[in-house]
């Protein structure tokens, strides 16, 4: 029923465009004639300088015009046009209302004047783009006059056209003209137009010939479409074939006439034909084949006519057709054909865009053709990811990535855009991996992911080898390997039961990423890759059943570690040649200041392997723990071998420390006597190896001092493992004498070291470690007889005693051993605290509390003793180190006291609160108080003070967030006066005191601003919590949403007032705080406006216009009016826009919203819930229209009064929306005859409005003049 009006609209539009085309062509001819006359006059005045003028003569004006055309054409020699008459002086007065740019106007190239001389090539500055043409177009248009005068006139004309359309439809509905006759007339008309285009021979009427041909093709399209779809006179397959032939004929005519517009018309028909004649059961593969044939045809025509814009048309048509086909088959069709089609589209257009003469920098059509062919597959992949399962999206993204790389390799002008495009593909890849990747069974997915990762990593390297490096390429290679591994970890999180291919693929991606990172010098990324690999392994170990962990897993882990270390060594040897070929810039950052960073990276895989081994020890599995210990011992030996080969001792030290950490996991597991006996056995073997192997592998102690230091600690750790297991396996006094055995065995090696290191600089340090270990064996005898954690207390006291002894017998080794004993003792004490606390009869009166307090005092004494003979120990400030431990132990003591108070008598404590609000609040206040005190002590090191500041901020943040984390606890509290409010009030007082004591000049005012932020946030939280408990008693706390209407209104008022006060605070205040106030006020305004929707039932029961929300709205409008009319003197936080504009816009939007709210409330039924919907109410519908019209008139009056153009624009926009509502909603609800009359009346009204507005602007301009 709407077909005829649409046809009439298309015909009218075509006629109008043809008229504009003809008019502008005449203007171009007139301009050419005038320019020729000017050139002739200039030539007659300068005959004596003919030779100079020959070299400097400008190109013909038509060339400059053609350079500005969107569509490029080949120039053909044409006969000279007849001399045109001078143009009449038109449109020299008044404003230009509407002057569209000649973007798609095709004019025949003008011939040069008689006796042409060589002209210069057009200047690059004359070649314009779409953006520059649009800017010139906007500069020539008075948009306000156009919208106020012509837009309403056009709307009136549109209303008349609709009325006429209804009249024509009436005649068709009554069958006054038969359908067969209408189709015959259309076919005859189209054929006549094509024949007429061929009969026109003169080039002067080329535009007329082009118009006849385009019109004939369009008419034939319409006739065949109507006969096939509307009247069903022609079957769909036959109609499809006829329309395809018409499109091919259009391509041929376009090439014959050398006119792009005909090719565009044929392309539109070719691309719309499958959509119009589709039955919904077709094949997407065949559809792509059809689109490829059409695209190849357009590509050949584009090459023949030298018109790259046809490639843009091909890309747009392919996008629209394939997108519509995908949308229709998304719900029912298989996903694989969609993926294949969208995978082939980038490859097809990469072939089209590959020629080197197609440069996107010089032609916007080429650029947009690339965008339209490569970006939509990303959206298709996202859609398939969301709505369908399978690996189709990854196929699309992988194919698009490979196609982009191929295009970049073939055409250098696309080189800079390939890497950003690959970056865009990663986002849908990440979405697909997190939602659809099944790493357990989908081997195709795994292989595609490998291809994508290799292409994204090595493809840019190939681009650099082909075209050189760019900054974007280097930046991409610094993040892509790590992001791909992160994506694979997401897949592992989704399906931890991975298949066979997953871990080899991940290992290959690791090798590729490490190679690329080493190539560009991104050493930190190498370390990150290794950490991610280890993290993935840790997650897999926690998710997999313990039965899976066996010798196969340990073999793969050992092989993977060896391969990673060997690959890194080989890459480090091979990369210098590749780097020299690429001529990459020298790396900058941390790596440039770090000694031998590549050797440290060789040592990094050992940490990951030992970390995974430690994780396997955390879970019992078959062959526990012997399979893991065999792997640990073998890999430790390999790490020592690599360290010797690279002559880099930190690698061996790192391996020893990591192996010790991994072994400690199962030694301290306490899973039965067999494990304890295994701990004794393995630790004894490793202890014996630690005694003798250093003398065999690292004979030259001068070259390996660090290894000897760590070897002593490794030996000590093994003996501690033996003592720990033996004490649990054989309880009693007998196990307490075991340290005599290592003491006796250690005496010989220490004596050898004393002899070999005589008069060497390494003597003191090495003897200090090994002699300290021997001293520990002797001093451990009495300690082993004490229960539980007193061993840790003894170690801490021994650390302080060693510092005291160093003041009597100075030796650097004593300080080193003391430094190692203190944290070790604290760790031992921490592991035994739960059992020690359970023995206490009363809170704070138990061994756990006393032991931590004693350690805190001993560490405080160590702070005083450690500066002798100097503060530094190596590069370490020893007093500050002990002070750190003392502060940490004191902080732990405070938390332990709180936990002990809340745990009850005779029970073990828990540092982490158990869920009680009071416990959480006490911990938060303790953190804030401890941090505030630490920050206020100015004598402390700045790092310690900053740690205190961090504790204060953490405790304050925790207390502010506590009502949100435990909302149900707030529901049990009484109104206004309760524990939560008192805790917030205490935090406010603490923050106020700390803020007032802080100097404004400290750290350039940064810390004072942080403390002020805490004060403001805690104060706002205090007020919000008071409103919640007072006006919503018994309801859980929510920060944004309210449970009761009263609290909702009060909360909105609080947000608005708090934000406004913060924004306009008269005293000096930093810009972020005022921005926060602006945000708070905006949120409060939104809360106030959504109140009727949030509490629709309660608002519907209120008396209209006389209720609390309306009172709030009145206050809001008054506040906004004051802020708009009377600007404040306080600084405005935003650079743009100014406060007057912000508040005026906010007032207008808020007033319009409140107007609609009150209209909806006033015209709602009695007892009905509030709703903006009319629900068939004519009065409510008309009230909306009247209210909008009055509001727009008032807004227009304000714009006229204040002479504000933007305000008048807003009034025009609202008036246009109101008119559109009347068009689409009000008038269409009337009957046929009334509808025609109403449209005619509305047309008269719109035309009158246009006349009035034009008079207003004319008067304003006259007054300005």
Tell me the C-alpha distance between 1200 and 2, whole Å. Answer: 41
User: What's the pLDDT at 226?
Assistant: 64
Quick check: 927 pLDDT over 70?
yes
The C-alpha atoms of residue 124 and residue 329 are separated, in whole angstroms, by 47
Which residue has better confidence, 1258 or 773?
773
CA-CA-CA-CA torsion for 37, 41, 44, 46, nearest 10 degrees?
Answer: -120
- The residues facing 872 across adjacent strands are 877
Residue 554: pLDDT above 50?
A: yes
Alpha helices in 411-548 (DSSP H): 415-436, 443-467, 471-477, 480-494, 502-520, 523-543
- In the structure, what pLDDT confidence band is assigned to residue 436 with cuts at 50, 70 and 90? confident
Judged by average pLDDT, the poorest of 73-77, 604-608, 862-866, 1223-1227 is: 73-77
Going by pLDDT thresholds of 50, 70 and 90, the confidence category of residue 91 is: very low
Q: What is the pLDDT of residue 232?
A: 73
Q: Quickly tell me which residue has 């747009």 as its tokens.
A: 316
Of 721 and 65, which is predicted with more confidence? 721
d(CA 173, CA 167): 10
In the prediction, which pLDDT does 771 show?
74
Predicted confidence at residue 102, as pLDDT, reads 36
Query: How confident is the model over 1210-1228, as a mean pLDDT?
Result: 78
pLDDT value for 989: 92
- The confidence score (pLDDT) of residue 6 equals 40
Residue 830 has pLDDT above 90, yes or no: no
Query: Tokens 């132990």 label which residue?
Result: 889
Most confident of 105-119, 682-696, 1120-1134, 1218-1232: 682-696
Of the segments 234-238, 670-674, 753-757, which one has the largest average pLDDT value?
753-757
Domain boundaries, the chain: 3-141
Report yes or no: 1033 and 975 within 8 Å, Cβ to Cβ: yes
Q: How confident is the model at residue 53, as a pLDDT?
A: 46
Summarize pLDDT for 885-917 with one digit per residue, the tens. Answer: 999 999 999 988 888 887 665 555 566 777 688
Kindly report which listed range (330-344, 948-962, 1076-1090) carries the lowest average pLDDT score. Answer: 330-344
Q: Tell me what the mean pLDDT of segment 1231-1244 comes to.
A: 62
More confident residue, 182 or 641: 641
Within 8 A by CB and 6+ apart from 82, the residues are 204
pLDDT digits (tens, 9 = 90+) for 678-692: 888 888 999 989 888
* Greater pLDDT, 4 or 584: 584
Look at residue 908 in the predicted model and tell me its pLDDT.
53
Evaluate if residue 720 carries a pLDDT over 80.
Answer: yes
Is the preceding omega at residue 362 within 30 degrees of 0, hence cis?
A: no
Which of 728 and 282 is assigned the larger pLDDT?
A: 728
DSSP-assigned states of every residue in 30-53:
HHHHHHHHHHHHHHHHTGGGHHHH
Please, are residues 260 and 70 in contact by the beta-carbon 8 Å criterion?
no
Least confident of 284-288, 658-662, 678-682: 284-288
Q: What is the mean pLDDT of residues 1176-1180?
A: 76
Compute the CA torsion angle 395, 396, 401, 405 (nearest 10 deg): 100
Please state the rounded mean pLDDT for residues 9-14: 50
pLDDT at 590: 42
Closest CA to 1017 of 1066, 1070, 1059, 973: 1059
Determine contact, residues 1084/1059, Cβ cutoff 8 Å. yes
Of the two residues 65 and 777, the one the predictor is more confident about is: 777
The pLDDT confidence band at residue 1082, using thresholds 50, 70 and 90, is very high
pLDDT, tens digit, for every residue of 486-503?
A: 777 777 776 665 655 677
Provide CB contacts within 8 A for 965, sequence distance 6+: 920
Q: What is the pLDDT confidence band of residue 168, given thresholds at 50, 70 and 90?
A: very low
Provide the pLDDT confidence category of residue 106 given band limits of 50, 70 and 90.
very low
206 vs 844, higher pLDDT: 844
Q: Rounded to whole angstroms, how far apart are CA atoms 758 and 767? A: 11
Please report the pLDDT score of residue 321 as a whole number: 84
* pLDDT of 521 above 80: no
In whole angstroms, give the CA distance from residue 984 to residue 976: 12
Q: Taking residues 1050-1078, report their average pLDDT.
A: 90
The pLDDT confidence band at residue 946, using thresholds 50, 70 and 90, is: very high
Percentage above 90 pLDDT, the chain: 12
Which residues are CB-contacts of 295 (< 8 A; sequence separation ≥ 6)? 314, 318, 348, 349, 352
Helix (H, G, I), strand (E, B) or coil at 876: strand
Task: Give dist(CA 1039, CA 24) in Å, integer.
Answer: 63
For the packed helices 523-543 and 502-520, what is the interaxial angle rounded to 10 degrees?
160
Beta bridge partners of 615: none
CB 297 within 8 A of CB 271: no
Confidence of residue 149 (pLDDT cuts 50, 70, 90): low
Token couple for 398 = 């992988």
pLDDT value at residue 107:
37
User: Does the structure show a pLDDT above 80 at 1178?
Assistant: no
State the average pLDDT over residues 144-160: 61
Q: Indicate the DSSP class of residue 1067.
A: S
Q: Judge whether residue 706 has pLDDT over 50.
A: yes
* 126 vs 521, residue with greater confidence: 521
Pairs from 298-303 (Cβ < 8 Å, separation ≥ 24): 298/251, 298/263, 298/267, 299/352, 301/251, 301/254, 301/255, 301/263
DSSP-assigned states of every residue in 627-691: HHHHHHHHHHHHHHHHHHHHT-HHHHHHHHHHHHHHHHHHHTT---HHHHHHHHHHHHHHHHHHH
- Residue 1263 scores a pLDDT above 50: no
State the average pLDDT for the chain.
76
Give the 3-state secondary structure of residue 872: strand
> Residue 1142 above 70 pLDDT?
yes
Is residue 1095 predicted with pLDDT exceeding 70? yes
229 confidence band (pLDDT: 50, 70, 90): low
What is the C-alpha to C-alpha distance for residues 579 and 519, in angstroms, rounded to an integer?
6
1144 by DSSP, 3-state: which?
helix
- The pLDDT, as a whole number, for residue 950 is 93
CA 1163, CA 1177: separation in Å to the nearest integer?
A: 9
Residue 121, pLDDT score: 42
Count Cα neighbours of 421 within 13 Å in the Cβ-side half-sphere: 30
More confident site: 1044 or 12: 1044
CB-based contacts of 98-104 (< 8 A; 24+ apart in sequence):
98/141, 98/146, 98/150, 99/137, 99/140, 99/141, 100/20, 100/137, 101/133, 101/134, 101/136, 101/137, 102/24, 102/28, 102/68, 102/69, 103/69, 103/70, 103/130, 103/133, 104/70, 104/71, 104/261
What integer pLDDT is reported at residue 61 of this predicted model? Answer: 38
């Amino acid at each position: 029923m709407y077909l005829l009006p649409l046809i009439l609209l298309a015909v009218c539009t075509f006629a109008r465009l043809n008229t504009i085309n003809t008019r502008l062509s005449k203007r171009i001819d007139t301009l050419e004639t005038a320019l020729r006359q000017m050139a002739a006059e200039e030539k007659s005045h300068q005959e004596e300088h003919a030779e100079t003028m020959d070299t400097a003569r400008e190109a013909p004006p038509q060339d400059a015009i053609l350079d500005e055309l969107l569509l490029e054409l080949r120039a053909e020699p044409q006969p000279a046009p007849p001399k045109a008459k001078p143009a009449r002086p038109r449109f020299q007065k008044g404003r230009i209302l509407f002057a569209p740019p000649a973007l798609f106007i095709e004019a025949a190239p003008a011939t040069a004047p008689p006796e042409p001389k060589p002209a210069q090539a057009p200047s690059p500055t004359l070649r314009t783009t779409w953006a520059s043409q649009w800017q010139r177009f906007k500069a020539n248009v008075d948009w306000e006059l156009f919208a106020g005068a012509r837009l309403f006139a056009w709307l009136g004309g549109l209303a008349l056209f609709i009325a006429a359309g209804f009249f024509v439809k009436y005649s068709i509905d009554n069958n006054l003209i038969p359908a067969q006759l209408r189709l015959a007339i259309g076919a005859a008309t189209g054929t006549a137009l094509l024949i007429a285009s061929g009969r026109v021979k003169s080039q002067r009427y080329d535009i007329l010939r082009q118009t006849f041909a385009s019109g004939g093709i369009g008419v034939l399209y319409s006739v065949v479409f109507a006969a096939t779809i509307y009247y069903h006179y022609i079957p769909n397959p036959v109609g499809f074939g006829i329309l395809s032939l018409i499109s091919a004929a259009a391509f041929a005519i376009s090439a014959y006439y050398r006119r792009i517009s005909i090719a565009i018309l044929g392309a539109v028909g070719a691309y719309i034909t499958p959509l119009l004649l589709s039955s919904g059961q077709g094949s997407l593969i065949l559809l792509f084949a059809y689109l490829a044939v059409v695209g190849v045809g357009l590509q050949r025509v584009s090459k023949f006519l030298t018109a790259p814009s046809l490639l843009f048309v091909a890309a747009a048509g392919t996008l629209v057709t394939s997108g519509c086909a995908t949308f229709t088959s998304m719900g029912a069709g298989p996903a694989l054909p969609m993926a294949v089609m969208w995978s082939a589209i980038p490859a097809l257009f990469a072939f089209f865009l590959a020629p080197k003469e197609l440069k996107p920098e010089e032609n916007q059509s080429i650029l947009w053709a690339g965008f339209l062919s490569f970006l939509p597959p990303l959206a298709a992949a996202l859609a398939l990811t969301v709505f369908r399962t399978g690996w189709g999206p990854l196929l699309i993204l992988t194919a698009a990535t490979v196609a982009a790389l191929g295009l970049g390799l073939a055409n250098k002008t696309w080189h800079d855009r390939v890497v950003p495009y690959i970056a865009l593909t990663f986002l849908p890849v990440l979405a697909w991996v997190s939602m659809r990747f099944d790493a357990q069974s989908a081997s195709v997915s795994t292989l595609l992911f490998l291809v994508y990762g290799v292409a994204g990593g090595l493809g840019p390297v190939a681009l650099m080898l082909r075209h050189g490096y760019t900054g974007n390429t280097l930046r991409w290679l610094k993040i892509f390997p790590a992001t791909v591994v992160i994506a694979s970890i997401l897949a592992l999180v989704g399906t931890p039961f991975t298949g066979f291919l997953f871990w080899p693929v991940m290992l290959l991606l690791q090798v590729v990423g490490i190679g690329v990172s080493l190539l560009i010098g991104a050493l930190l990324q190498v370390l990150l890759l290794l950490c991610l690999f280890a993290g993935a392994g840790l997650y897999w170990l926690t998710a997999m059943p313990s039965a899976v962990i066996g010798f196969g897993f340990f073999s793969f882990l050992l092989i993977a570690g060896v391969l990673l270390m060997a690959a890194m060594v080989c890459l480090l040897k091979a990369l210098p040649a590749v780097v020299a070929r690429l001529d990459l810039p020298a790396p900058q950052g941390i790596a440039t200041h770090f000694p031998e960073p590549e050797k440290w990276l060789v040592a990094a895989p050992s940490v990951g392997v030992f970390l995974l081994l430690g994780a396997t020890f955390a879970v019992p599995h078959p062959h526990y723990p012997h399979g893991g210990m065999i792997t640990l011992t073998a890999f430790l030996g390999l790490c020592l071998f690599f360290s010797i080969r690279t002559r880099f001792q930190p690698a061996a030290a790192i391996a020893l420390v990591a192996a010790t950490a991994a072994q400690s996991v199962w030694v301290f597991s306490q899973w039965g006597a067999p494990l304890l006996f295994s701990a004794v056995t393995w630790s004894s073997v490793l202890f014996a190896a630690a005694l003798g192997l250093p003398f065999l592998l690292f004979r030259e102690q001068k070259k390996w001092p660090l290894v000897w230091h760590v070897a002593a600690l490794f030996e000590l750790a093994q003996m501690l493992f033996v003592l720990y297991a033996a004490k649990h396996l054989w309880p009693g006094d007998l196990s307490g004498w075991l340290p005599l055995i290592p003491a006796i065995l250690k005496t010989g090696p220490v004596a050898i070291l004393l002899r070999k290191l005589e008069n060497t600089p390494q003597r003191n340090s090495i003897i200090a470690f090994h002699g300290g270990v021997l001293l520990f064996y002797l001093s451990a005898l009495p300690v082993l007889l004490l229960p539980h954690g007193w061993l840790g207390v003894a170690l801490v006291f021994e650390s302080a005693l060693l510092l005291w002894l160093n003041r009597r017998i100075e030796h650097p080794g004593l300080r080193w051993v003391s430094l190692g004993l203190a944290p070790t003792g604290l760790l031992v004490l921490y592991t035994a605290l739960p059992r020690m606390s359970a023995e206490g009869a009363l809170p704070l009166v138990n061994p756990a509390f006393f032991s931590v307090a004693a350690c805190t005092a001993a560490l405080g004494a160590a702070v005083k003793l450690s500066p002798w003979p100097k503060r530094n120990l190596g590069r370490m400030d020893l007093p500050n180190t002990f002070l750190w431990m003392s502060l940490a132990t004191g902080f732990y003591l405070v938390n332990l006291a709180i936990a002990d108070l809340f745990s009850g008598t005779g029970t073990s404590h828990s540092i982490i609160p158990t869920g009680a609000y009071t416990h959480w609040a006490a911990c938060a206040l303790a953190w804030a108080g401890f941090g505030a005190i630490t920050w206020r002590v100015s004598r402390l090191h700045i790092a310690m003070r900053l740690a205190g500041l961090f504790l204060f901020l953490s405790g304050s943040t925790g207390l502010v967030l506590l009502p949100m984390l435990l909302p149900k606890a707030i529901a049990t509290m009484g109104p206004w006066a309760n524990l939560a409010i008192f805790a917030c009030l205490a935090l406010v007082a603490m923050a106020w005191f700390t803020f007032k004591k802080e100097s404004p000049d400290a750290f350039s005012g940064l810390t004072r601003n942080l403390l002020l932020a805490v004060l403001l946030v805690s104060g706002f939280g205090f007020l919000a919590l008071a409103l919640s408990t007072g006006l919503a008693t018994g309801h859980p706390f929510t920060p944004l949403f309210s449970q009761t209407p009263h609290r909702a209104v009060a909360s909105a008022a609080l947000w608005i007032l708090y934000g406004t006060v913060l924004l306009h605070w008269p005293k000096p205040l930093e810009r972020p705080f005022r921005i926060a106030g602006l945000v708070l006020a905006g949120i409060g305004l939104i809360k106030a406006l959504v109140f009727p929707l949030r509490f629709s039932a309660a608002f519907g029961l209120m008396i209209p216009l006389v209720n609390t929300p309306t009172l709030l709205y009145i206050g809001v409008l008054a506040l906004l009016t004051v802020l708009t009319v009377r600007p404040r003197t306080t600084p405005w936080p935003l650079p743009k826009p100014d406060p007057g504009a912000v508040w005026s816009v906010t007032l207008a939007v808020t007033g319009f919203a409140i107007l609609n709210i009150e209209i909806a409330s006033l015209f709602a039924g009695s007892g009905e819930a509030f709703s903006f919907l009319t629900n068939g109410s004519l009065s409510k519908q008309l009230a909306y229209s009247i209210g909008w019209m009055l509001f727009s008139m008032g807004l227009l009056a304000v714009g006229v009064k204040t002479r504000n153009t933007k305000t008048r624009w807003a009034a025009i926009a609202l008036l246009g929306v109101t008119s559109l509502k009347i068009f689409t909603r009000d008038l269409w609800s009337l009957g046929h005859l009334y509808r025609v009359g109403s449209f005619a009346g509305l047309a008269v009204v719109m035309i009158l409005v246009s006349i009035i507005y034009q008079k207003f602007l004319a008067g304003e301009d006259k007054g300005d003049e």
